[in-house]
């Protein structure tokens, strides 16, 4: 069960190793009739066929030879694993240290900090992995069934881990009130992006060419349906964000004196602030206000607390919306997040089709620079500010460009220059990303340590570490 979940998060579900039955007399298959999307296995296949070529003479003489069975082993991309490992490490760092160092924690609203790169980097990685995993699709129907099943599994684990069922590591208890369960979260967003991007890649497998036409933009036209899917997601998000009418809304907070009702005045369209944006309105309507995340990062804004940008008690004159819930992995913002997956799958397509290091880096770096420039222009002209909570278009471009530049740097160092050894630890984390995510970022390991106490539940290693100045914040990528 854990392995299936890991495969989902990575997007690198391995197909069963193909058993290729070859009568050695089929030399014509060596002359280019195969699929040119063979990626890194292409040279290996030539060597395997060349190794058995002498047997062909016996075939020609009429001597009957047994069927040669060659078992292909899939080769993982070291750069992708190392980049995934780096993202996991950054996620754990900002989750554990973000409370003490607010500058690396999520931006309270507009802007981009270290923590804000984690989610789009994951989605970028999922996109790259999908391109590699779906290079060859023997049966489309079977592939679609697997995509649906793995999407459902990932959503299930997302609800279990972040829905409120587990109270680890702070409380040795479990269980959640179904009236307050959190329906959407990190893994659910990854599942949605994976489902859409992988489905488009699968159903269009017969529409894409095996050889690219000459030209710098041929890679875009070859995979036009993936970009059309991303453009549709962009239109849905932008039209809804700027045209949907957001009415007044209210919520109830349990305080010392009992439940208290708060009212937020809105009645507007196209607002990109915390109180009246369309992203929050869609989630309140779809999931219900009681099923949203109750500790949004906007509580660290100056309007809400004097401790800004750190977390602290709310000001007495804080607006009512400071106490309200907001889902950082909401439905509308997750539709925008599909673009991060589309950018990632483009990088995977470049990796497949371009065999030279220089051509790959040229494609990757040029696109990354363009994305960053677009984001900077949109942000500093106040047209569309960079905002992780809303998953704004400028945020997609900025983080997608950053992911492309870092991925290119890793590729240059690991695959071109050959310095792989220093990154082996990151590779291991990347290959076991789901395990590390559950154990470290979701507090399962801390809960295990917390579960061993002496006489009192407070007498445990976790409690002692907290009172020694170390702080642990259970992993919720806000």
Domain ranges, ordered by start, for the chain: 78-244+330-442, 443-477
- pLDDT for residue 107 is more than 70: yes
Q: Mind listing the pLDDT tens digit for each residue in 257-306?
A: 888 899 999 999 999 999 999 999 999 999 999 999 988 999 999 999 99
Q: How would residue 366 be classed by pLDDT, with cut points 50, 70 and 90?
A: very high
Per-residue model confidence as pLDDT tens digits over 428-444 = 998 888 888 777 766 67
Positive or negative, the Cα torsion across 398, 400, 402, 405? negative
Residue 444 to residues 122, 170, 375, 454, Cα–Cα distance (Å): 21, 11, 37, 20
Instruction: Quote the CA–CA distance of 478 and 469 in Å, as a whole number.
Output: 24
- Provide the greatest CA pair distance for the chain: 96
pLDDT tens digits, one per residue of 155-174: 998 898 888 777 766 677 77
Whether the predicted pLDDT of 140 surpasses 60: yes
Measured over the CA atoms of residue 131, residue 134, residue 140 and residue 143, the dihedral's sign is negative
Residues 6 or more apart in contact with residue 33 via CB below 8 angstroms:
none
Give the pLDDT confidence score for residue 410 in this predicted structure.
96
Q: Using a pLDDT cut of 90, give the percent of the chain over it.
A: 53
Query: Which region among 84-98, 147-161, 227-241 has the lowest average model confidence (pLDDT)?
Result: 84-98
Q: Which residue has the higher pLDDT, 185 or 46?
A: 185
């Amino acid at each position: 069960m854990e392995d299936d979940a890991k495969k989902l998060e990575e997007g690198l579900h391995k197909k069963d190793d193909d058993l290729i039955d070859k009568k050695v007399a089929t030399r014509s298959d060596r002359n280019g009739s195969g699929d040119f999307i063979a990626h890194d296995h292409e040279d290996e296949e030539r060597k395997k066929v060349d190794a058995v070529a002498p047997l062909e003479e016996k075939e020609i003489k009429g001597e009957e030879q047994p069927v040669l069975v060659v078992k292909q082993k899939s080769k993982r991309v070291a750069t992708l694993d190392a980049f995934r490992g780096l993202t996991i490490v950054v996620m754990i760092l900002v989750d554990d240290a973000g409370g003490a160092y607010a500058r690396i924690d999520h931006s309270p609203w507009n802007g981009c900090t270290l923590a804000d790169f984690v989610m789009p980097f994951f989605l970028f990685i999922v996109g790259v992995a999908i391109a590699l995993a779906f290079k060859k699709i023997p049966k489309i129907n079977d592939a679609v069934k697997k995509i649906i099943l793995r999407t459902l599994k990932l959503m299930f684990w997302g609800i279990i881990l972040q829905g409120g069922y587990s109270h680890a590591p702070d409380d040795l208890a479990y269980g959640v009130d179904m009236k307050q369960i959190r329906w959407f979260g990190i893994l659910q967003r990854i599942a949605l992006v994976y489902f859409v991007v992988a489905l488009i890649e699968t159903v269009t497998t017969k529409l894409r060419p095996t050889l690219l036409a000459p030209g710098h933009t041929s890679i875009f036209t070859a995979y036009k349906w993936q970009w059309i899917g991303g453009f549709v997601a962009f239109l849905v998000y932008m039209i809804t964000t700027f045209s949907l009418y957001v009415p007044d809304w209210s919520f109830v907070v349990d305080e010392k004196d009992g439940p208290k009702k708060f009212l937020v005045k809105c009645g507007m369209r196209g607002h990109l602030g915390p109180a009246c944006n369309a992203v929050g309105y869609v989630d309140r309507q779809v999931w219900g206000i009681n099923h949203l995340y109750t500790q949004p990062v906007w509580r660290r804004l100056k309007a809400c607390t004097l401790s800004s940008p750190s977390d602290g008690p709310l000001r007495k004159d804080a607006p009512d919306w400071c106490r309200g819930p907001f889902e950082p992995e909401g439905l509308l913002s997750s539709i925008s997040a599909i673009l991060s997956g589309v950018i990632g799958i483009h990088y995977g397509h470049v990796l497949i089709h371009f065999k030279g290091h220089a051509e790959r880096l040229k494609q990757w770096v040029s696109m990354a620079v363009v994305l960053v420039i677009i984001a900077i222009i949109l942000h500093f002209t106040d047209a569309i500010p960079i905002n992780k909570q809303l998953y704004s278009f400028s945020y997609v471009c900025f983080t997608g460009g950053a992911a492309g530049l870092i991925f290119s740097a890793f590729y240059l160092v690991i695959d071109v220059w050959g310095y792989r050894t220093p990154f082996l630890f990151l590779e291991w984390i990347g290959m076991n990303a789901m395990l590390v995510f559950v154990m470290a970022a979701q507090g399962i390991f801390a809960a295990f340590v917390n579960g061993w106490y002496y006489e009192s539940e407070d007498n445990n290693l976790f409690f002692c570490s907290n009172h020694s100045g170390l702080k642990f914040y259970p992993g919720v990528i806000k």
